[in-house]
Structure 1
Amino acid sequence: MTLQISDENRVRTLVLNRPDALNAFNEELYLATATALRDAADDPEVAVVLITGAGRAFSAGNDLKEMQTRIADGSYAEGSHFSTMIEALAELPKPLICAVNGVGLGIGTTILGYADLVFMSTTARLKCPFTSLGVAPEAASSYLLPQLIGRQNAAWLLLSSEWVDAAEAHRMGIAWKVCEPDDLLPDARRHAEVLASRSIPSLIAVKQTITEPYRAGIAAATERENAHFQQLLGGAANAAALAEFTGQRPS
């Protein structure tokens, strides 16, 4: 099972569960997460959604081996459930908390732009590897990250393809609280349960009033990013990076 789902005290916890692949997102996990987010949105007994990862990673991003295979066989051009998950994140009407327990790479970082609260382990690190992979940003990160952490912090994350540790992520403002590894989930859950004790219609109203002004910007950024991504995907820099990662020569 690529996604573990549990409920406690009106908090629905989603655990990314591909630990052998460092919780990298394949098509199955994208769809499972999108479905779980939409189910949580529709469930009157769920007030808050908490996302974390199994094992030593939060998420190592997109499954590059699957990505390379789908580019080679032409199926990637038909679309990805990546978009399905991003739409579900953008539309989630209830508070979203992310507990970053380990490395967050690519979507493991950009998903945080949709979180209302981010808790991060002292041992966790973040990276947006787009320039090292020869591709464009994703998940409206070119819009959401400057809004969240300021233009220069976002520029470094998106342009450098360098790691950012938990202390730096906290300084930037992408992590709300940094916790010792053993305290991460208990602390995130404690805060989730505070929110979950409140009126769900009120939580939804507050979140909507916060997020509504950003919806048009998210949609426009997604369109821009997708156009650049498709242009660069499979190009020389991207093919070389994927081949180096997977140990396979580009065809």
Structure 2
Amino acid sequence: MDFDYLLIEKIGNIQIIRLNEPNKRNALVIEMRKELFRAFSQAEQDEDIKTIILTGEGKAFSAGGDLSTIRKSKPLETIKRLQSSHPLIMKMVEMEKPIIAAVNGAAAGAGFSLALLCDVIFASEQAFFVQSFVNIGLIPDFAAMHFLPMLVGPHKAKELMFMGERISAEEAHRIGIVNRVVPVETLLAEAIEFAEKLAKKPPISVGMTKKIMNQHINRDLKVLLELEAQGQDLCSQTEDFKEGVNAFFEKREPNFLGK
């Protein structure tokens, strides 16, 4: 199966999926999201694959959505864009094979949300995390409002989402987002070592544990996905969103007016 936005590598019982748009800091363009769905579906059907590692090529894990595309969205287009990602989100949550995120650098916006969809998160010492949506006048998407509060509690999650400030890998580990922080030079090797140990565990037991836990804690996930699509569409039509995006590209502080 050919991919334009991903690099796929199989090592024994492990499949490594690399986001492969390093020049755009692995921005999650629609085409990449569709390829991720295909890649996870393929891994799910391959009986030889026991665990999956998701990482980024280059210096970033993922900078999130492609603002050059988002800024051109017309009414209702944002809803359709986010709805097109729902199959990927549900695939990662519902597939029984465990997914390990190896966060090599920046995990911003939807890139942060993508890492949260994984079952275990390894982060390099150079990695950082930021819920950057508010900085351009948008709400968090890619199910971050569902998963982040479960890890850090609603008050801390609101702080991270309201303020849009980056946190280090060490801080992400301290508050329960990240499982392990390791040197960038050994990130992938340590993720593979963990995946190899996990691959030796009984797959039915591991898969059933993930399935039952996720079915229990994600009962309202589909409702949230529709609400965030509607909210994101509304925010994307505001003057504050236009100001936030313009300020981002012009590398200046935005002046939000609540319009």
Q: State if a TM-score over 0.5 links the two structures.
A: yes
Supply the distance in 2 between the matched residues of 1:168 and 1:22 (Cα, whole angstroms).
22
Distance 1:78-1:219 versus aligned 2 partners, 3 A rule = closer
- Hey, what does 1:187 align to over in structure 2? 190
Distance 1:190 1:132 in 2: 37
RMSD value over aligned CA atoms? 1.7
| Structure 2 match to 1:216 | 219
Give the superposition deviation at 1:72: 5.0
State the alpha-carbon separation in 1 of the partners of residues 43 and 220 from structure 2.
Answer: 25
Q: Please tell me whether the aligned partners of residues 26 and 62 of structure 2 are also in contact (alpha carbons under 8 angstroms).
A: yes
How far apart are residue 134 of structure 1 and its match?
Answer: 0.9
- SS state at 2:132 partner: coil
1 CA distance for matches of 2:223 and 2:78? 22
- CA distance, structure 2, for counterparts of residue 30 and residue 145 of structure 1: 20
Distance 2:167 2:56 in 1: 18
**Correspondence for 2:81 among 62, 68, 79:** 79
Question: What is the aligned counterpart of 2:56 among 27, 50, 53?
Answer: 53
Structure 1 residues 79 and 166: CA distance shift in structure 2, 3 A: closer
Q: Which residue of 1 aligns with 2:137?
A: 134
TM superposition score normalised by structure 2: 0.89
Q: Work out the CA distance in 2 between the residues paired with 1:150 and 1:75.
A: 32
* Higher alpha-carbon deviation: 95-104 or 228-237: 228-237
Q: Which amino acid in structure 1 is aligned with residue 120 of structure 2?
A: L
Tell me which amino acid in the other structure corresponds to 2:211.
Q
Cα distance in 1 for partners of 2:5, 2:146 equals 29
Name the SS of the counterpart of 2:7 in structure 1.
Answer: strand
Per-residue CA deviations over 1:92-148 (Å, capped at 9, x if unaligned) read 221010000000001111122222110001111110112111111212211211111
Structure 2 counterpart of 1:239, one-letter code: K
Q: Deviations over 1:31-87 (max 9, x none)?
A: 111111111112211111110000100000001112223x15975454353333222
Tell whether 2:186 aligns with 1:197: no
Gaps of 5+ in 2: 251-259
Provide the residue aligned with 1:102 in structure 2: 105
Structure 1, unaligned runs of 5 or more: none
The one of 33, 37, 42 aligned to 1:39:
42
Q: d(CA) in 1 for partners of 2:191 and 2:17?
A: 13
Q: Name the counterpart of 2:232.
A: 229
Letter in 1 for 2:178: A
Q: Residue by residue, what CA displacement relative to the aligned partner does 1:141-192 show, whole Å, maximum 9, x if unpaired?
A: 1121111122222122211110001111011110100001111111111001
Q: Which residue of 1 aligns with 2:71?
A: 68
Aligned residue type for 2:150: Q
Bigger drift between 226-235 and 158-167 goes to 226-235
Q: Which amino acid aligns with 1:228?
A: G
Aligned residue pairs total 246
Bigger mean CA deviation after superposition, 86-95 or 26-35:
86-95
Q: Is the 8 A contact 1:64 1:246 kept in 2?
A: no
Q: 1:64 to 1:205 in 2, by over 3 A?
A: same
Alpha-carbon displacement from aligned partner over 1:193-230 (angstroms, at most 9, x marks no partner): 11112232222112112211022121222222222112
Q: 1:244 aligns with which of 203, 226, 247?
A: 247
Seen in structure 2, the aligned counterparts of structure 1 residues 72 and 140 have a Cα distance that, compared at 3 Å, is closer
Distance 2:165 2:186 in 1: 27
